[in-house]
Chain A
């Protein structure tokens, strides 16, 4: 059993689980809040942009086989930049990890475990992710390949179960708050896919390097479909004016599901699935963070640092004072951090790398990337 590499299915599962978790948490709420009745139209548009972007990513990486984004950064702007770039990515991943786990735990606390201490619940999630990472990349992939199909099934079942509540006319007025909010400022909702930046670190971890295209495309298509399904559920089933203000709109929709009088609380099943998916989500982010640490620290085995990393995430997740501050971190800081860093700076790095490589390739056709 090779625990240092990811098989193709595992890589797809790893990438999917991170976006699926964001569906359960805040970004969907912000999308509905900002675009109103045009949320479905906006998310279809955003998904098309994401697919175009993933084609771009694959194009760039096809020029740099077996390299990750840090290698491309080094190739584009030199070693010092690579170091700063890696640290920025590390901070970004730890930030996403900490606000996501905090937000999820706050939800759990409200719905189920009122008496339990917040720190205790956070430790349980982080400990599970840290233990998974101790065993290596392969185990994280295997856990994800088991949990991702379950989460997809959960979202799909939610969609099917609430169709009875659908009022298809809730998508009107079709342009929502306006053409600008739907297509121009609405394009910023691309940040819902920002967690897919994990993809940029996957090439060296893949067992079959040639499958990167498959992983990129399948992941983007699956996550796009799930995002469309979940936004459709939220907009069509309940009035978006209050869906957008709910702590977790997905949970609000799930609570409206009726499976007869025998299953009175089907949301408990979904909560169980989402707990598993949060653990998998954290392990994926920790895996990539450990990979970055190993790379910049030139460590042979970074997995030994998993518990220390979990401690850092725990500390960071406790920074937000309360739910409003957490909402601010998620809807403002996370959004703009993602847009500027992942979609702005990283895209620039990839583009510069691509053109530099192309130019170099044209000048020296025999030279290959080491």
Chain B
């Protein structure tokens, strides 16, 4: 009897062990996707989505879908196509995706979506319904970039990637990363843009893009009001689509910022204003600035500029009106050299420093007054600093920062130091 008990105990233990083993194996297999069994071929991976106003439906969606073929990965030909463009008119984002699912006979996946592009026309009517839906989509990452296109987004998507050996997704990545050395675009991610739309102390902004060709170069923007900027004919005064580059072909250009009030697009900022925005918001890493040469009026001086210290901003409320002080400290390198000027001379360097400081101060002031008086939009988030003057949320909401921002007045101080030039100091 004892032996029988022992034997049954061993059998029971073996049985329990086997059951647990089977359950564990089944669990592991199911967690690694065994149950869904979907291969890469069953998905259409979208690289970018364009949003325009539709003609027969409220929304026109353009999907740039990756073509997963071995030939596209080699990248040896500039004409190699790594994506296709599909356009669908629909009533909502999800219904558009559904139509595309049906058309492609594959499940559309937005997990690799790099860019969302809205046309100015659609953005000026308000984009919060689309942004809310996109942010709520678990497939789209908050780090996905948002652009506002001056041309329709379909044309922009068709031209993007052309100057990057046809590798479109790489082109979007490099555009986003170019903020590190280029002061003419801003960082515009879905997460931060959505956060700015929700905040009571700031407004949203995105990078401005456009198709660039002979027509867009000739057709100057009438949206940006003229504010008599210093050096109005400089290269930094262009916005996307206007810079005279590759006149004979369509190319995708990213330059400037699109400014939002609430969820509506209200205006554009050009290159130098974008540079000023990066300075004020501490986002500038390194950038090139061209200024008229104070020592020789017919020439220009190029400076490589970076922030020496973080930009300090103070917001005071004077009789309820915001008074904003901005102090910018910059380090710069003189890149220009000409035979008529001695750049090793301290007096000459001092003159350039003074001129550059005044030039940047005026441009920053122009940027600040344009955003406050013309666009009535606090894209630099000064409101977050103003909120420190209030004790409770009720007081802050009653004050209504965004309605007071347009009455703001500014004081800007720029301290620029030219530290060194390159190999040669004079020729």
Contact = CB atoms under 8 A, between A and B. Distances in A.
A1 interface: no
B143 A256 contact: yes
Given A124-B27, A167-B384, A256-B191, A173 B390 contact: yes
A111 B196 CA distance: 24
B387 interface: yes
B35 A172 contact: no
Nearest to A260: B177
Contacts, number: 75
Interface of A: 36-37, 110-111, 113, 115-116, 120, 124, 127, 131, 165, 167, 169-170, 172-179, 238-239, 241-242, 252, 255-256, 258, 261, 264-265
Contacts of B194: 239, 242
Contacts of A252: 142
A137 to B, nearest CB: 20
Interface string B385-408: 101101111111000000000000
B3 to A, nearest CB: 24
Contact of A258 (B143, B196, B391, B395): B143
Instruction: Indicate the size class of the contact surface on chain B.
Output: 20 to 34
Given A120-B30, A177-B394, A110 B138 contact: yes
A365 B394 CA distance: 58
Given A124-B27, A167-B381, A177 B142 contact: no
B199 A241 contact: yes
Contact of A178 (B141, B143, B201, B394): B394
B141 A169 contact: no
Contact of B391 (A120, A170, A175, A255): A175
B387 A172 contact: yes
B20 A173 contact: no
Nearest to B28: A124
22 contacts: A36-B393, A37-B393, A115-B35, A115-B36, A127-B23, A169-B201, A169-B384, A172-B387, A172-B388, A174-B391, A175-B391, A175-B392, A238-B195, A239-B195, A239-B199, A241-B199, A242-B194, A242-B198, A255-B142, A256-B142, A256-B143, A258-B143
A178 B392 contact: yes
Contacts of A36: 393
A363 B191 CA distance: 66
A170 B384 contact: yes
Contact of A173 (B138, B142, B192, B392): B392
Q: Which of B30, B195, B201 has the largest number of chain A CB atoms within 10 A? A: B195
B92 to A, nearest CB: 20
Contacts of A258: 143
Given A110-B138, A238-B195, A239-B195, 15 more contacts: A36-B393, A115-B35, A116-B30, A124-B27, A124-B31, A169-B381, A169-B385, A173-B391, A173-B396, A175-B391, A177-B392, A178-B393, A178-B394, A242-B195, A255-B141
Contacts of B143: 256, 258
Contacts of A265: 141
Contacts of A174: 388, 391
B173 interface: yes
